[in-house]
């Protein structure tokens, strides 16, 4: 039986989705039907297709009582929208169905585990909330909440926790059939613990271990944990709230962090040896991963983050999108991200320029480019666009003082990626992208060239820019509210350098 809240939300979505044209959306990044979305949820492979759910408030472009939206895909890039899945309609999730995950069951049904949020007070206020873990089971389209929800409650743990901070279950199944879940909890002393529970049937859960405890040094609550083996290392992805910046990292308040280490599954001992911000741009949070049938670990994040989430530009009809799916690897002990290989077959209309000289004075390779004396910028025929995959290889850093690559540009707008070799500093800056609020618009990241060469891959999809530096050693993600007519790409140097530029349109 469908609840009134679910029926109402589905009807609302069906009616209002017609107000948004496909041209207003990105081409291959997933957006919600209408309204607001945040974290990716339930990223899973079910009956031979990828399923993605997301935190969803269909009624407005701001966060509200959380529902789950749903879409599926065969290639991780073209998504088919499915009916809204969960609405807050039970006493235990009356304030929202928070983030969670999914897995295919032996009987061919799809299992979801999510955090139900309810109020401990009669007035349903946010002052005193209780978070518990709940199940829903479905066929890939319709889902029913488990009749004995919640299945994991704060009082099921062997130690005291804050009722309001017990959330974001990530489930997976071991080869022997054991169900596992990692969850984030806060102790009364406000330390965050990532805990592991196990189960035979996904209903009765036993607490096994605290994998790691953070004592304020690295922020407060670590939201949305994900824990997996990757290239022989054990990776813990978390999104810590209120974390202090360190050098050029963790400036967002709400950050993303990858811990890389070793793990003994017999003793549950997890020893991280490396820590890093997952994405060094502005708009990336709460990522979730999947292991694909061909053995790739793929991560998708919310392409937004809490600090800027109150700044939907006036008039937008939906707010929030998910990031490009990224393949994860460990290289030299560090987490590396690459755009999914599925993107390659969408690369069309190549424009390939080799050994382009960019100079400060009477700039550039005039044979190939068009130099504008006023702006000191060079454009190259065919190098433009807003739905593109472009790699710039900076081959000579010895005489370069500063390189500027300007994208999504016209006379009024531009977003810049710049690099200063002496300081080994890259900056991504969308101050002039047309975003109407004076919020944070730029981020710096520390980048060392590899063997004297720097590569920057730009993936653009109408309303976003994701850069992958030195083969994905670092990434930077920003959303752009720049009009689509601003599609110019320009290059400028202080000092001089030599570039290879390889640009494709991404065609779907
Ligand atoms: C992360 C998060 C989760 C929570 C959800 C609520 O962005 O705060 O911890 O489950 O969003 O929408």
How far apart CA 231 and CA 305 sit, in angstroms, is 29
- In Å, how far are 17, 428, 440 from 311, measured between CA atoms? 22, 19, 11
- Sequence-distant (6+) residues with CB within 8 A of 176 are none
Quick check: CB of 55 below 6 Å from ligand 1? yes
Whether the CB of 286 sits within 6 Å of ligand 1: yes
Residues linked to residue 85 through DSSP beta bridges, in sequence order: none
- Which of 59, 110, 54, 109 shows the shortest CA–CA distance to 86? 54
What's the DSSP call for residue 312? P
Active-site residue set: 39
Question: Which element (helix H / strand E) includes 7?
Answer: helix 4-16
Angle at 292 between CA 286 and CA 293, to 5 degrees: 165
Q: H or E stretch including 16?
A: helix 4-16
Q: Is the CB of 115 within 6 Å of ligand 1? A: yes
Residue 238 Cβ < 6 Å to ligand 1: no
Residues in the chain: 508
Q: Which two tokens stand for residue 436?
A: 């109407």
CA 32 to centroid of ligand 1, rounded, Å: 16
- Contact call for residues 132 and 161 (beta carbons, < 8 A): no
The pLDDT value recorded for residue 219 is 86
d(CA 158, CA 205): 12
d(CA 193, CA 21): 44
Contacts 24+ apart (CB under 8 A), 56-59: 56/32, 56/84, 58/9, 58/12, 58/13, 58/16, 58/32, 58/33, 58/34, 58/84, 59/9, 59/12, 59/35
Cα distance between residue 307 and residue 505, in whole Å: 32
CA angle 477, 333, 192 (to 5 degrees): 70
249-284 residues labelled b (16+ CB within 10 A) or e (exposed): bbbbbbbbbbbbbebeeeeeebebeeebbbbbbbbb
**How far apart are the CA of 27 and the centre of ligand 1, in A?**
26
CA atoms within 13 A on the CB side of 450: 12
Q: Probe ligand 1: pick from 98, 183, 305, 309, max atoms within 8 Å of CB?
A: 98
Q: Which of 63, 69, 96, 99 to mutate to test the pocket of ligand 1 (most atoms within 8 A of CB)?
A: 99
66 lines ligand 1 (CB under 6 A): yes
Integer CA distances (angstroms), 157 to 52, 151, 202, 210, 251, in order: 30, 12, 16, 11, 33
Nearest to 428 by CA among 439, 443, 448: 443
Is the omega angle on the peptide bond into residue 187 within 30 degrees of 0, that is, cis? no
For residue 254, the ligand 1 atom closest to its alpha carbon is 7
| C-beta 118 within 6 A of ligand 1 | no
Residue ID of nearest Cα to ligand 1 atom 12: 98
Nearest residue (by CA) to ligand 1, atom 8, is: 223
In 304-380, the DSSP E strands lie at 318-319, 326-331, 334-339, 347-359, 370-372, 377-379
The answer to whether the beta carbons of residues 208 and 268 sit under 8 Å apart is yes
Alpha-carbon gap, residue 92 to 163, rounded angstroms: 13
39 lines ligand 1 (CB under 6 A): yes
**Tokens read off for 272:** 């991280």
Q: In a structure prediction context, what are the per-residue pLDDT tens digits for the chain, which is 508 residues long?
A: 899 999 999 999 999 999 999 999 999 999 999 999 999 999 999 999 999 999 999 999 999 999 999 999 999 999 999 999 999 999 999 999 999 999 999 999 999 999 999 988 765 555 689 999 999 999 999 999 999 999 999 999 999 999 999 999 999 999 999 999 999 999 999 999 999 999 999 999 999 999 999 987 888 899 999 999 999 999 999 999 988 899 999 998 899 999 999 999 999 999 999 999 999 999 999 999 999 999 999 999 999 999 899 999 988 999 999 999 999 999 999 999 999 999 999 999 999 999 999 988 755 555 567 777 667 789 999 999 999 999 999 999 999 999 999 999 999 999 999 999 999 999 999 999 999 888 999 999 999 998 999 999 999 999 999 999 999 999 999 999 999 999 999 999 999 999 999 999 999 9
Nearest ligand 1 atom to the CA of 39 is 7
């Amino acid at each position: 039986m469908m609840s009134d809240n679910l029926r109402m939300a589905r009807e609302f979505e069906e009616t209002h989705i017609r107000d948004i044209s496909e041209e207003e959306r990105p081409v291959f990044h997933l957006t919600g039907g209408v309204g607001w979305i945040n974290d990716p949820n339930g990223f899973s492979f079910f009956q031979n297709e990828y399923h993605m759910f997301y935190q969803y408030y269909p009624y407005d472009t701001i966060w509200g009582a959380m529902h789950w939206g749903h879409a599926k895909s065969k290639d991780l890039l073209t998504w088919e929208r499915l009916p809204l899945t969960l609405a807050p309609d039970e006493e235990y999730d009356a304030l929202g169905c928070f983030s969670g995950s999914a897995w295919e069951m032996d009987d061919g049904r799809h299992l979801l585990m999510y955090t139900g949020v309810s109020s401990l007070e009669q007035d349903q206020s946010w002052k005193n909330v209780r978070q518990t873990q709940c199940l829903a089971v479905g066929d890939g389209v319709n889902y029913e909440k488990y009749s004995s929800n919640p299945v994991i409650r704060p009082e099921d743990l062997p130690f005291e926790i804050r009722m309001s901070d017990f959330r974001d279950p990530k489930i997976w199944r071991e080869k022997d059939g054991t169900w596992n879940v990692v969850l984030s909890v806060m102790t009364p002393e406000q330390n965050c613990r990532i805990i592991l529970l196990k189960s035979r049937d996904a209903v009765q859960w036993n607490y096994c271990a605290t994998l790691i405890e953070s004592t304020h040094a690295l922020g407060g609550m670590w939201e949305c944990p994900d824990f997996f083996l990757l290239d022989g290392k054990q990776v813990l992805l978390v999104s810590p709230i209120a974390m202090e910046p360190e050098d050029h990292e963790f400036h967002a308040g709400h950050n993303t962090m990858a811990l890389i280490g070793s793990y003994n599954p017999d003793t549950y001992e997890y020893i991280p040896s490396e820590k890093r911000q997952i994405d060094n741009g502005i708009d990336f949070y709460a990522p979730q991963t999947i292991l694909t049938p061909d053995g790739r670990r793929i991560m998708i994040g919310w392409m937004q983050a809490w600090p800027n989430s109150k700044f939907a530009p006036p008039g937008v009809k939906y707010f929030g999108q998910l990031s490009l799916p990224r393949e994860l690897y460990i290289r030299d002990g560090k987490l590396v991200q690459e755009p999914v290989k599925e993107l390659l077959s969408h690369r069309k209309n190549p424009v390939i320029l080799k050994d382009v000289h960019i100079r400060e004075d009477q700039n550039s390779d005039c044979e190939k480019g068009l130099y504008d004396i006023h702006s000191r910028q060079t454009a190259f025929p065919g190098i433009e666009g807003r739905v593109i995959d472009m790699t710039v290889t900076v081959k000579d850093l010895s005489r370069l003082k500063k390189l500027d690559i300007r994208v999504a540009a016209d006379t009024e707008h531009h977003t810049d990626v710049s690099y200063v070799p002496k300081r080994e500093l890259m900056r991504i800056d969308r101050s002039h992208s047309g975003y109407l609020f004076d919020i944070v618009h730029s981020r710096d990241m520390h980048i060392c060239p590899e063997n004297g060469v720097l590569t920057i891959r730009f993936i653009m999809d109408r309303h976003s820019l994701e850069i992958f530096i030195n083969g994905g050693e670092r990434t930077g993600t920003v959303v752009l509210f720049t009009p689509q007519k601003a599609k110019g790409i320009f290059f400028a140097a202080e000092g001089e350098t030599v570039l290879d530029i390889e640009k494709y349109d991404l065609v779907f």
